[in-house]
């Protein structure tokens, strides 16, 4: 089904969704996909209620002193402030549909007759206690978080989630009607796509090049990645680890480890270096401790790079074990990762088949055009329905 006409889409977000730095570039690529496949995008953000500054400062002081934290990002006061500002802008925009990505607080108190498509990679129920910055929340903050999520889900005409993990929570934890829940995986933030023949004819390097990509060493499982490197070398598997995006703690042994602390994807030189890392590495190794739908994994698959990671959060919605990568249990440590990686290369042709399957996963489902077409169909179905 193709939308019968180009829609006018209100893109609701507190941040500036036109910036490549917002939400790791996801907002930028979402908006471009909507423009290609759905209609004209009218950016409602950035918006900042008057209460935002004082509330964030108060929360920072409280959280620095007290054992229990308060999340201003899930505040009902913030939601009411957003509702006033966004409602005013929507009345001037004359749009057919509202697209609200990771914007539960922005829409929880919003009253409008324009149908809302709410998109997210998780629910508050999943995030509470899962990510470090949403750990040890005060009871009042937890209540507000659940209220905001439940209200956002109730106000939406359609719900789009990036993984079955998140979609299931919307139904099980918040009573979302199954018929308005859709799973559409994220794409890869790649603009200069390498040709298929350049990435599906991979031959393992010697030494094996493992790429650890992430800005948070602890949350992305950096310690386990180093353990895996040591375990591989103990098995006489020549290997090296490239760490990109962060710096390991001083206590971490960095023998056979190359560290690239930061690459700016907006800088053409850094972007080319990043793409070269994806082309010349053999595996992306990220034993993540907490993740929803990592864009880096879709990017790796765009370059035919299999991903070795953890079955946690929404990761299984991106990486399918034995097809476009390897999924290990959360409790697995370096030895288990080394065993799976070593076995991947023992069977002749298995690695090459996985590299080809990784690129197919990108071509078929982990790209923004596939996302845009499916979300365009969802928007077309709800655009003629007015909700109170």
- Mean pLDDT for 117-143 is 96
Identify whether residues 301 and 377 lie together within a single domain: no
Flag whether 1 is in a domain: no
Residue 204 and residue 162 share a domain: no
More confident residue, 254 or 332: 332
Q: Is it the case that residue 309 has pLDDT exceeding 60?
A: yes
> Is residue 88 exposed (0-12), middle (13-18) or buried (19+ Cβ within 10 Å)?
exposed
| Same domain, yes or no: 175 and 283 | no
Residues 156 and 227 in one domain: no
Question: Same domain for 150 and 13?
Answer: yes
pTM over 0.75: yes
- Residue 386 pLDDT level (bands cut at 50, 70, 90): low
Convert the pLDDT of each residue in 18-30 to its tens digit. 998 899 899 999 9
Sign of CA dihedral 276, 367, 108, 172: negative
* pLDDT attached to residue 2: 46
Tell whether 215 and 286 lie within a shared domain: yes
177 shares a domain with 63: yes
Rounded mean pLDDT of 9-34?
Answer: 94
Range of the domain at 52: 7-187+367-382
Which residues have C-beta within 8 Å of that of residue 236, sequence separation ≥ 6?
Answer: none
Task: Render pLDDT for 76-92 as a digit per residue (tens, 0 to 9).
Answer: 999 999 999 999 999 99
Q: Give the whole-number percent of the chain exceeding pLDDT 70.
A: 98
Structurally, how many domains does the chain consist of? Answer: 2
Give the model's pLDDT for residue 1. 44
Residue 315 and residue 318: Cα distance in Å, rounded? 5
> What percent of the chain has pLDDT above 90?
88
Longest Cα separation, the chain:
66
Rounded average pLDDT over 31-44: 96
**Are residue 312 and residue 371 in the same domain, yes or no?**
no
pLDDT (0 to 100) of residue 166: 98
Segment 237-259 shows an average pLDDT of 93
Q: Is a pLDDT exceeding 70 seen at residue 385?
A: no
Instruction: State both tokens at 78.
Output: 């913030």
Q: Is residue 30 in some structural domain?
A: yes
Instruction: Assess whether 283 and 256 both reside in one domain.
Output: yes
Between 6 and 230, name the one with better pLDDT.
Answer: 230
Judge whether residue 358 has pLDDT over 80.
Answer: yes
Quick: pLDDT tens for 175-224.
Answer: 999 999 999 999 999 988 888 888 877 889 999 999 999 999 999 999 99
pLDDT band at 388; cut points 50, 70, 90: very low
Residues 336 and 324 in one domain: yes
CATH number of the domain where residue 172 is located: 3.40.50.2000
Residues 28 and 142 in one domain: yes
Q: What is the pLDDT of residue 173?
A: 98
Asked, for residue 270, whether it belongs to a domain, the answer is yes
pLDDT of 241: 98
pLDDT of 107 higher than 50? yes
Q: What is the mean pLDDT of the chain?
A: 94
75 in the same domain as 224:
no
């Amino acid at each position: 089904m193709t939308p019968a006409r180009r829609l006018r889409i209100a893109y609701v977000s507190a941040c500036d969704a036109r910036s490549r730095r917002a939400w790791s570039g996801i907002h930028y690529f979402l908006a471009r996909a909507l423009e290609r496949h759905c209609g004209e995008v009218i950016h409602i953000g950035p918006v900042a209620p008057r209460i935002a500054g004082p509330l964030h400062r108060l929360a920072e002081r409280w959280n620095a002193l007290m054992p229990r934290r308060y999340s201003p990002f899930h505040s009902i006061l913030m939601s009411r402030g957003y509702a006033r500002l966004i409602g005013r802008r929507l009345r001037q925009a004359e749009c057919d549909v509202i697209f609200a990505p990771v914007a539960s607080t922005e829409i929880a108190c919003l009253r409008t007759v324009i149908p809302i498509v709410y998109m997210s990679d998780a629910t508050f129920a999943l995030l509470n206690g899962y990510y470090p910055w949403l750990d040890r929340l005060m009871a009042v903050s937890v209540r507000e978080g659940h209220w905001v999520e439940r209200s956002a889900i109730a106000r939406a005409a359609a719900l789009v989630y990036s993984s079955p993990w998140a979609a299931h929570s919307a139904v099980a934890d918040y009573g979302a009607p199954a018929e308005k829940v859709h799973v559409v995986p994220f794409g890869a933030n790649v603009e200069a796509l390498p040709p298929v023949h350049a990435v599906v004819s991979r031959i393992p390097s010697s030494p094996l090049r493992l790429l650890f990509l992430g800005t948070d060493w602890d949350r992305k499982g950096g310690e386990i990645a180093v353990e895996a490197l040591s375990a591989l070398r103990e098995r006489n598997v020549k290997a090296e680890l490239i760490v990109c995006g962060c710096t390991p703690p001083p206590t971490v042994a960095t023998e056979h480890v190359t560290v690239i602390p930061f690459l700016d994807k907006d800088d053409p030189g850094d972007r080319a270096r990043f793409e070269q890392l994806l082309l010349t590495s053999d595996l992306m190794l990220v034993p993540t401790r907490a993740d929803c739908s990592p864009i880096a994994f879709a990017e790796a698959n765009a370059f035919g790079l299999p991903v070795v990671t953890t079955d946690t959060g929404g990761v299984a919605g991106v990486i399918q074990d034995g097809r476009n990568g390897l999924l290990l249990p959360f409790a697995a440590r370096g030895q288990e990762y080394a065993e799976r990686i070593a076995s991947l290369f023992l069977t002749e042709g298995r690695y090459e088949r996985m590299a080809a399957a990784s690129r197919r996963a990108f071509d078929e489902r982990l790209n923004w055009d596939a996302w845009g077409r499916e979300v365009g169909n969802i928007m077309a179905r709800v655009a003629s329905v007015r909700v109170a």
